Chain A
Amino acid sequence: MTTTIPADVPLHETIEPEGKRAKRARVVLEDADRGILSPADWRRPHVRIVGTVFNVILGISLVIIGLLPLLWLLKSAVTPTQDTLTNPLSLFPNGLAWSNISKAWNDVQIGSFFFNTIWMAVGEWAVQLLVATTGGYALSVLKPRYGKIISGLVLATLFVPAVVLLVPLYLTILHPPLIGHSLINTFWAVWLPAGASAFNVLLVMRFFDSLPREVFEAARTDGAGTFRLFWSIVLPMSKPILGVVSVFAINAAWADFLWPNLVLTDIGIQPLSVRLPQIQSSTDLGVYLAALTIATLIPVVIFLIFQRTFLRGGGLGGAVKG
C-alpha cells in the first residue's frame, strides 16, 4: 500500500523517455567497467579465491531462498497427501498424485477464483490507468490554473497510511454517493478505490513533464485537438511508464488481501487471495498445495517473461512504495 513519499526521491531521474532510459538500462546491465573490486583486485589470487567462495555461497543461498520453497510447492502439489504429512522432504516415495491438480481445479474450483483474480486485476488496472493518464495529462500538459491545488491534494494522500481509510472507505462502499445502493460484493468495490493511487498519478505526471513540449506544439499546429493530442501523441510516447504502472497495478491486485477480504464476502466473486485462507481447513492438504501452486505459477511465469520491467519497476517502486 502506498504509505508516504520522501520528498527527495529523484523520480524524474529514474524515469525518462524511452530512448534515454533504454540506453541507461543497457549501461546498468552491461556495465563492464568495475564495481568495488577493480580488475587488479580480481587478479590477486586470494581475492579471487575469497570472491569465488562468496560467489558460490551467494549463489547457493539464493537458490535455497528463492527457488527451493517454490520447488517444494511444485513437488508437493503432485505428491499424495499422506507422504507430504509424514515425510515432507522425500521425493515421491509412493508415486505421484496428478489428481491433486485436477481436484484443485474442478472440486475446489480454483479455476473460477483464478478468473475472479484476473478480472479483479484487469479492472483495477483499467481504472488506475484511466485515472493516472487522464489526470496526469490534465495536470501536466493542459495545466489549468487550479491544477496546483489538485496535484497538492493528490500528493497529500501519499502521507496518509492506507489503514486510516479502512473503516471510512468501507462505509463509503456501503453507501456510495449518487448510486443509492451498496457496492459490497461487486467488483466495483475493489476497482474504484484502487484508482485513487497518488503514486501512479505522480509517476505519470513526472513522466509527462519530461516529454518534449515542442512535439505538443507541433501537433497543435498540425491541428490536433486536446483529445487527439492525448490519444495519438502523449499516450504512444508514454509506453514505458504505462508498462511500469501496469506492472504495479497487476502486482498489487494479485497481492491485495485485506480490502477484498472485507468487501468481497460473496464466494462467487472472491479472488484467490481471499479464498485460499478460507478453504485451507476444508481441503485435503495435497489438493490445497496444488491450489497454492496454481495461484503461484501464473505470476511467476509472467515475471519470468517480463522480468526486466519487473526488476526496473521494483528498483524504482520499492523506493517510494511501502
Chain B
Amino acid sequence: MTVDTAVKQHVAARPERQKRRHNPITWVQRGGLTTLFFLLPLLIIFGVFSWTPIVESVVMSFQKTNLVTPAVFVGWDNFVAIFQDPLFWVAIRNTGYFALLALLFGYPIPLIAAVLMSEVKRMKGFYSVLAYLPVIIPPVVSVLLWKIFYDASATGVFNAILGWVGIPPQPWIQDAATAMPSLVLEATWAGAGGTIIIYLAALTSVSPDLYDAAEVDGASIWGKIWHVTLPQLRGILFITLILQIIATAQVFLQPFLFTGGGPVNSTTTILLLIYQYAFTNSLGGAYGQATALSLMLAVFLAILSIVYFRVTARWSDN
C-alpha cells in the first residue's frame, strides 16, 4: 500500500495549507467537506426538528391558524385569551399543588432511602435493583396498573388492603379532594427509584476521611449525617430539586390517563390544558393559543431556573 507516500504528502502539504486557508478549494482539501459531511445528520435533524420548531413556536404564539386556512397574525390575542380562560388559573393551581405534593412525598423519601441503603453494604446491589424496578416499568403501564389499584369500590386492590386493617374504602381518583394526591402517589412510586440511584452514586463520592474527622471531633451518628453527609450532597440536592420542579411543572401522563383532568377539573394541569387547546377541539385546535401557553411555561421555567441557580450558587459560596 501507499501508506508511506500518503503520510509524506500529508506532512509535506501542511505548511502550504495554512497560507491559503480562505480558499474554498483548499478548504475542501483540508477536509472541510468531510467535516461538514459528519455534521450533516446533526445539522439536518436539529435544524428541522429542533431549531426551526423553536423559532416557529414564537411566531405561532402570535398567530391564529387552523392548519387549513393561512395563518393570521393576531398580536397578543392568544395570550389575552389564555388569561381570560378560567381553566388557566385552575390549571396553574393544580400544577402548583401537584408540584408541592410531589416535593413533600417525593423529595425526602428517596434521600432517606438512599442514606439507609448506602449503609447496607452487602444488600446494596439487590436493594438498588428493587428500588429501580418501578422506573423500568413503562410509565403508561404503571398508570394503567395503578388505575386498576385505585378502583374505588370495596373490592378495589387498595381498598381491599385498607379493608384488612379496618379502614373504609377510599374514593382515590374519583373525588376532587383525593384525586391529585393519588396521582402524586403513583408518580412518586414511579420516579423515586431514579432519584435514589442518583443519591446513591453521590453518597459513594463522600470521602470516608470526612466521617473519620467528624468522629475525632466526637460527632454522633446524627451529627455525621447533619454535618457531613447532607452538606456533601448539597450540590446534587439542589440540582434534583430544581429538576423535580421542572419535571412536575410539565406533568401530563398521570392526569391524562388517570382522570382526563377530572373530577371537576381538579387534575387539569398546564400541560393537559395545552393539549386540550391544541388537540381536542372539534373544529381544529387553537394551535396559536397552545403554543402561547407552552411559551409562557418555558419562559417561567427558564426564569425560575436562573434565579434558582443564582440563589443556590450564593448559598454554596457561604
Residues of A within 8 A of B (CB): 1, 3-4, 6-9, 27-29, 31-38, 40-41, 47, 51, 54-55, 58-59, 62-63, 65-67, 69-70, 72-73, 85-89, 127, 130-131, 134-135, 137-139, 142, 144, 150, 153-154, 157, 159-172, 174, 176-177, 192-193, 195-196, 198, 201, 220-223, 226-227, 230, 254-255, 257-258, 262, 272-273, 276-277, 280, 285, 289, 292, 295-296, 299-300, 303-304, 307, 310-312, 314-316, 318-319, 321-322
Determine whether the beta carbon of A38 is less than 8 Å from that of B211. yes
CB distance A319 to B236 under 8 Å? yes
A24 to B261, CA, bound (A): 46
B120: contacting residue among A55, A167, A258, CB under 8 A? A55
The reply to whether A168 and B137 contact each other, CB–CB distance below 8 Å, is: no
Contact A171 B67, beta carbon cutoff 8 Å: yes
Q: Does B229 contact A (CB under 8 A)?
A: yes
**Contacts of A40 on B, CB cut-off 8 Å?**
215
In whole angstroms, how far apart are the Cα atoms of A295 and B274 in the complex?
A: 29
Question: Which residues of chain A come closer than 8 Å to B160, judged between CB atoms?
Answer: 87-89
Assess whether B89 is interfacial by the CB under 8 Å rule. Answer: no
Q: Which residue of B lies closest to A37 (CB)?
A: B119
Task: Please measure, in the bound complex, the distance between the C-alpha atom of A258 and the C-alpha atom of B208, giving whole angstroms.
Answer: 45
Residues of A within 8 A of B189 (CB): 65
Question: What residues of chain B lie closer than 8 Å to A174, measured between beta carbons?
Answer: 67
Selecting from B80-88, B99-107, B168-176, B192-200, the interface stretch reads: B192-200
B291 touches A164 (CB 8 A): yes
Confirm or deny: B24 has a beta carbon within 8 angstroms of a beta carbon on chain A.
no
Beyond A34-B208, A65-B130, A70-B137, 16 extra complex contacts between A and B, CB < 8 Å: A4-B246, A32-B121, A35-B208, A37-B119, A65-B189, A86-B155, A89-B160, A150-B39, A160-B298, A166-B274, A167-B285, A198-B50, A254-B138, A273-B140, A304-B129, A316-B201
- Residues from chain B with a CB closer than 8 A to the CB of A310 are 132, 136
In the assembled complex, which residues on chain A have CB atoms less than 8 Å from the CB atom of B113? 58, 62
A4 to chain B, nearest CB (A): 6
Indicate which residue in A142, A292, A300 contacts B144 across the interface (CB closer than 8 Å): A292
Q: Which bracket fits the contact residues of B?
A: 35 or more
Task: Please determine whether A299 and B161 come into contact, CB atoms closer than 8 angstroms.
Answer: no
Closest to A161 in B: B298
Are B305 and A4 within 8 A (Cβ)?
Answer: yes
Name the residue on B nearest A67 (C-beta).
Answer: B130
Known A-B contacts A36-B119, A138-B42, A201-B42; A31 and B204 likewise in contact (beta carbons under 8 Å):
yes
Q: How far is the CB of B35 from chain A (nearest CB, A)?
A: 4
Tell me if B239 and A89 are in contact (CB < 8 A): no
B73 in the interface (beta carbon within 8 A): no
Contact present for A142 and B35 (CB under 8 Å): yes
- Tell me if A164 and B294 are in contact (CB < 8 A): yes
Contact A157 B131, beta carbon cutoff 8 Å: no
| Beta-carbon contact of B208 and A33 below 8 Å | yes
B278 touches A62 (CB 8 A): no
Interface: B123 (CB within 8 A) = yes
Q: How far is the CA of A271 from the CA of B208 in the complex (A)?
A: 48
| Contact yes or no, A137 B291, CB < 8 A | no
The 9 closest A-B pairs by CB, nearest first: A135-B42, A315-B201, A168-B53, A66-B130, A138-B38, A168-B56, A223-B3, A196-B50, A195-B45
A161 and B251 alpha carbons, distance in the complex (Å) = 12
Cα–Cα distance between A205 and B189 once the two chains are bound (Å): 33
Cα A160 to Cα B51 with chains together (Å)? 10
A89 surroundings in chain B (CB, below 8 A): 157, 160-161
The reply to whether B41 and A322 form a contact with Cβ atoms under 8 Å apart is no
CB contact between B203 and one of A3, A35, A176 (< 8 Å): that residue: A35
Per a CB cutoff under 8 Å, which of A8, A59, A62, A165 touches B54? Answer: A165
Query: B250 interface residue, CB < 8 Å from A?
Result: yes
Taking the closest CB of chain B, its distance from the CB of A196, in whole angstroms, is: 4
Are B140 and A159 interface neighbours, CB within 8 A? no
Known contacts A62-B130, A85-B155, A196-B46; is-contact A167 B57 (Cβ 8 Å):
yes
Cβ distance A82 to chain B, nearest Cβ, rounded Å:
11
CA distance A29 to B200 in the complex (A): 11
Given A6-B309, A167-B60, decide whether A55 and B123 contact each other with a Cβ distance below 8 A: yes
**Is residue B242 contacting chain A, with contact meaning CB distance below 8 A?**
yes
**Quick one: closest B residue to A153, CB to CB?**
B51
A167 and B46 contacting across the interface, CB-CB below 8 Å: no
Establish whether residues B247 and A322, one from each chain, have CB atoms under 8 Å apart when the complex forms: yes
